[in-house]
């Protein structure tokens, strides 16, 4: 089977498009379950172990899972760091500024005070002291052990238990109350690096001498955040404790269980919100005179609409990933109905509609979330939209514009010779310094010009008919539906998803030694009709996902967690 991979690189001043023909050999053409344990992926040497900061979504989900959904997270979160197109990758690079620690501390104090409050503490404590003003060491130790395990995603060492026990006791001595002491020990755990950071630990791989893999608890943590967007639950921690995650059969059981849980959808939502840059909704502003229909409810609903389209298609319908660019499904609310000019039966909440042929819409690239995010505050932008399609869906980097350019033609709206964005960009496109990159972006974005800067349908701009023809690397088409079909047919559409999904799961880039594994995953994705859950299952059950190449600068050959009592 022949598969074409194109890479666009910037070797100044010209943009080069290199196409490599890659021959993929399919070794097995049997059922996907057996493919998942096929030979080629064993070649993966894995990447380095990571230290990853919890994202805002992961922090919230983790707190809700451990302490229940009714505990408010009152601290604020700063804008997340995005690296290589993903916040998930940025978590391996993001620092912890004084601001972030200040805010984590505010959350920690509040969570701990609610957990230890008289009204709520019975739900969290399995024991109580004889009287509140006596320090019950056994009971305190039990609480610290139980919650330490959940928060640090591994059992605490004896020394750590002693530490938090000492803090609880000192707090009790000072404040005269057992629960107050425990409250501050819990506050400490909630600001500890082992909670806020996923510190991956590894060990020699007994199955492959000379190789390394994540230790049992780090494996559980990587798996859990990948499949549920949250910390390992009690059952997964128990499987890790029993060393079951290095056993293929037991691992597959855990993977099936987690994928069947409602949290799986949360993880998918988080991944696509990251991939689609939805954090930018926090900064989204539209001019209120030009787009009076825009408000924060419309913004929130448009974001949710796209996420619902994705989960409905990929999870509920088990659909082909490529069809996200052609689907006419339209989850709608009343406020979105106004923008889309579609009737919505439900007064509150969501109902599923269908975009008609005449709506001009097909695929998530024609939904308001994409169109509005990649526009200016007062007008659409074929260039920004084209750039977003290349970078978000095709994993192609478009270089920054050259420093010294004359763009004056684009804003010449008063010029009756250039009523549409296409006319203005064409004037601009005669500049040889610009044309290389604009050829990558504009022919894609211009096909979405039937939608204004907010994403509302139009056929004319400044009185002139809008021409929505365009092309993708030589394939010509018309309008949003044509663009969707071109994306459907484009080979890198699917390999880009595999790339982003895998990098999101491991929090880094794909190293050269992981390339064969990556190719294998692409093949599995194709063989399964581009169904996302099967791809995820394959990743999660592959030993390659847990394999580690330690950073040569690591001071210790293994930093695997050693359970109390294992130490000699």
CB of 202 to other proteins, least distance (A): 10
> Judged by CB under 8 A, does residue 133 bind other proteins?
no
Helix locations, 176-215, DSSP H: 178-191, 193-196
Near other proteins in 430-489, by CB under 8 A: 453
Query: Which of residues 49, 232, 360, 484 is near other proteins by CB under 8 A?
Result: 49
- The number of residues that bind other proteins (CB under 8 A) is 80
Query: Which of residues 265, 412, 426, 473 is near other proteins by CB under 8 A?
Result: 412
Near other proteins in 524-553, by CB under 8 A: 551, 553
> Judged by CB under 8 A, does residue 419 bind other proteins?
no
What whole-number distance in Å separates Cα of residue 227 and Cα of residue 262? 10
Near other proteins in 364-383, by CB under 8 A: 376-379
By beta-carbon proximity to other proteins, the closer residue of 252 and 562 is: 562
By beta-carbon proximity to other proteins, the closer residue of 206 and 408 is: 408
By beta-carbon proximity to other proteins, the closer residue of 68 and 76 is: 76
Query: Which of residues 41, 65, 160, 514 is near other proteins by CB under 8 A?
Result: 160
Residue keyed to tokens 């080629």: 40
Q: What is the CA radius of gyration of the chain?
A: 26
> Judged by CB under 8 A, does residue 405 bind other proteins?
yes
> Judged by CB under 8 A, does residue 152 bind other proteins?
no
By beta-carbon proximity to other proteins, the closer residue of 252 and 410 is: 410
Give how far Cα 359 sits from Cα of 2, 225, 301, 346, 452, Å. 37, 39, 19, 21, 14
> Judged by CB under 8 A, does residue 154 bind other proteins?
no
Near other proteins in 86-125, by CB under 8 A: 90, 93-102, 105-106, 109
Site string for other proteins, 274-313 (x = CB under 8 A): --------xx-x-xxxx-----------------------
> Judged by CB under 8 A, does residue 26 bind other proteins?
no
Give how far Cα 270 sits from Cα of 51, 57, 315, 368, 505, Å. 20, 7, 14, 19, 12
Segment near other proteins (CB under 8 A), from 56-64, 114-122, 124-132, 152-160? 152-160
What whole-number distance in Å separates Cα of residue 154 and Cα of residue 287? 50
* DSSP notation for 29-49: -S-HHHHTT-SGGGG---B--
CB of 50 to other proteins, least distance (A): 8
Residue keyed to tokens 């009709």: 529
472-511 burial: b if 16+ Cβ within 10 Å, else e: bbeeebebbbbbbbbbbebbbbbbbbbbbbbbbbbbbebb
What whole-number distance in Å separates Cα of residue 142 and Cα of residue 125? 9
> Judged by CB under 8 A, does residue 126 bind other proteins?
no
By beta-carbon proximity to other proteins, the closer residue of 210 and 552 is: 552
> Judged by CB under 8 A, does residue 208 bind other proteins?
no
Query: Which of residues 11, 403, 567, 568 is near other proteins by CB under 8 A?
Result: 403
> Can you state the percent helix, strand and coil of the chain, rounding each to 5?
50, 10, 35
Query: Which residues make Cβ contacts (< 8 Å) with residue 239, sequence separation at least 6?
Result: 220, 245, 250, 254
> Judged by CB under 8 A, does residue 384 bind other proteins?
no
By beta-carbon proximity to other proteins, the closer residue of 110 and 528 is: 110
CB of 167 to other proteins, least distance (A): 5
CB of 169 to other proteins, least distance (A): 8
> Judged by CB under 8 A, does residue 417 bind other proteins?
no
Segment near other proteins (CB under 8 A), from 116-124, 184-192, 224-232, 307-315? 184-192
What whole-number distance in Å separates Cα of residue 195 and Cα of residue 147? 11
What whole-number distance in Å separates Cα of residue 205 and Cα of residue 202? 9
- Whether residue 387 contacts residue 398, with contact meaning beta carbons closer than 8 Å, is answered with yes
> Judged by CB under 8 A, does residue 559 bind other proteins?
yes
> Judged by CB under 8 A, does residue 199 bind other proteins?
yes
By beta-carbon proximity to other proteins, the closer residue of 93 and 323 is: 93
Q: Please give the distance of CA 9 from its chain centroid, rounded to a whole number.
A: 25
> Judged by CB under 8 A, does residue 563 bind other proteins?
no
Query: Which of residues 59, 143, 184, 393 is near other proteins by CB under 8 A?
Result: 184
> Judged by CB under 8 A, does residue 337 bind other proteins?
no
> Judged by CB under 8 A, does residue 354 bind other proteins?
no
**Nearest one of 207, 212, 216, 223 to 242, comparing CA atoms:** 216
> Judged by CB under 8 A, does residue 170 bind other proteins?
yes
Query: Which residues make Cβ contacts (< 8 Å) with residue 385, sequence separation at least 6?
Result: 370, 371, 374, 375, 441, 444, 445, 448
> Judged by CB under 8 A, does residue 83 bind other proteins?
yes
What whole-number distance in Å separates Cα of residue 492 and Cα of residue 532? 16
């Amino acid at each position: 089977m022949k598969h074409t991979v194109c890479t666009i690189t910037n070797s100044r001043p010209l943009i080069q498009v290199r196409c490599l023909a890659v021959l993929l050999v399919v070794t097995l053409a049997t059922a996907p379950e057996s493919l998942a344990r096929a030979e080629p992926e064993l070649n993966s040497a894995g990447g380095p172990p990571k230290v990853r900061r919890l994202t805002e979504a992961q922090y919230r989900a983790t707190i809700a899972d451990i302490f229940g959904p009714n505990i408010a997270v009152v601290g604020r979160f700063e804008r997340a760091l995005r690296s290589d197109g993903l916040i998930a990758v940025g978590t391996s690079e993001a620092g912890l500024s004084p601001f972030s620690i200040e805010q984590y501390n505010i959350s920690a104090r509040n969570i701990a005070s609610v957990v230890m409050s008289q009204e709520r503490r019975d739900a969290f404590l399995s024991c109580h002291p004889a009287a509140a003003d006596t320090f019950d060491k056994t009971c305190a130790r039990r609480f610290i052990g139980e919650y330490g395990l959940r928060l640090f995603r591994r059992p605490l060492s004896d020394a750590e238990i002693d530490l938090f026990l000492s803090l609880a006791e000192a707090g009790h001595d000072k404040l005269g109350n057992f629960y107050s002491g425990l409250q501050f020990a819990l506050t400490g755990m909630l600001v500890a690096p082992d909670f806020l950071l996923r510190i991956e630990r590894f060990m020699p791989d007994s199955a492959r001498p000379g190789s390394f893999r994540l230790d049992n608890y780090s494996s559980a943590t990587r798996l859990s955040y990948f499949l549920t967007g949250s910390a390992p639950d009690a059952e997964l921690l128990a499987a890790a404790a029993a060393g079951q995650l290095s056993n293929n059969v037991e691992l597959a059981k855990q993977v099936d269980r987690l994928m069947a849980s409602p949290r799986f959808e949360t993880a998918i939502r988080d991944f696509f919100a990251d991939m689609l840059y939805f954090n930018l909704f926090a900064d989204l502003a539209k001019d209120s005179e030009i787009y009076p229909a825009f408000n924060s409810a419309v913004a929130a609903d448009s974001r949710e609409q796209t996420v619902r389209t994705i989960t409905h298609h990929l999870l509920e319908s088990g659909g082909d990933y490529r069809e996200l660019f052609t689907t006419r499904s339209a989850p709608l609310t009343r406020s979105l109905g106004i923008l889309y000019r579609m009737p919505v039966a439900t007064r509150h909440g969501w109902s599923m509609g269908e975009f008609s042929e005449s709506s001009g819409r097909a695929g998530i690239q024609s939904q308001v979330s994409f169109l509005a995010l990649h526009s200016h505050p007062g007008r659409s932008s074929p260039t920004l939209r084209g750039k977003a399609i290349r970078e978000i869906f095709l994993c192609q980097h478009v270089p920054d514009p050259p420093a010294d350019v004359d763009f004056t033609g684009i804003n010449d709206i008063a010029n009756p010779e250039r009523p549409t964005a296409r006319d203005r960009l064409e004037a601009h496109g005669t500049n040889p310094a610009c044309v290389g990159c604009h050829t990558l972006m504009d022919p894609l974005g211009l096909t979405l010009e039937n939608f204004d800067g907010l994403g509302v349908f139009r056929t004319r701009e400044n009185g002139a008919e809008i021409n929505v023809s365009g092309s993708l690397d030589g394939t010509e088409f018309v309008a949003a539906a044509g663009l969707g079909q071109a994306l459907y047919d484009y080979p890198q559409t699917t390999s880009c998803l595999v790339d982003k999904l895998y990098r999101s799961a491991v929090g880094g880039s794909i190293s050269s030694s992981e390339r064969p594994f990556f190719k294998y995953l692409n093949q599995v994705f194709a063989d399964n009709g581009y169904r996302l859950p099967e791809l995820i299952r394959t990743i999660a059950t592959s030993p390659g996902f847990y394999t580690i190449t330690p950073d040569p600068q690591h001071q210790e050959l293994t930093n695997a967690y050693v359970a109390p009592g294992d130490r000699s």
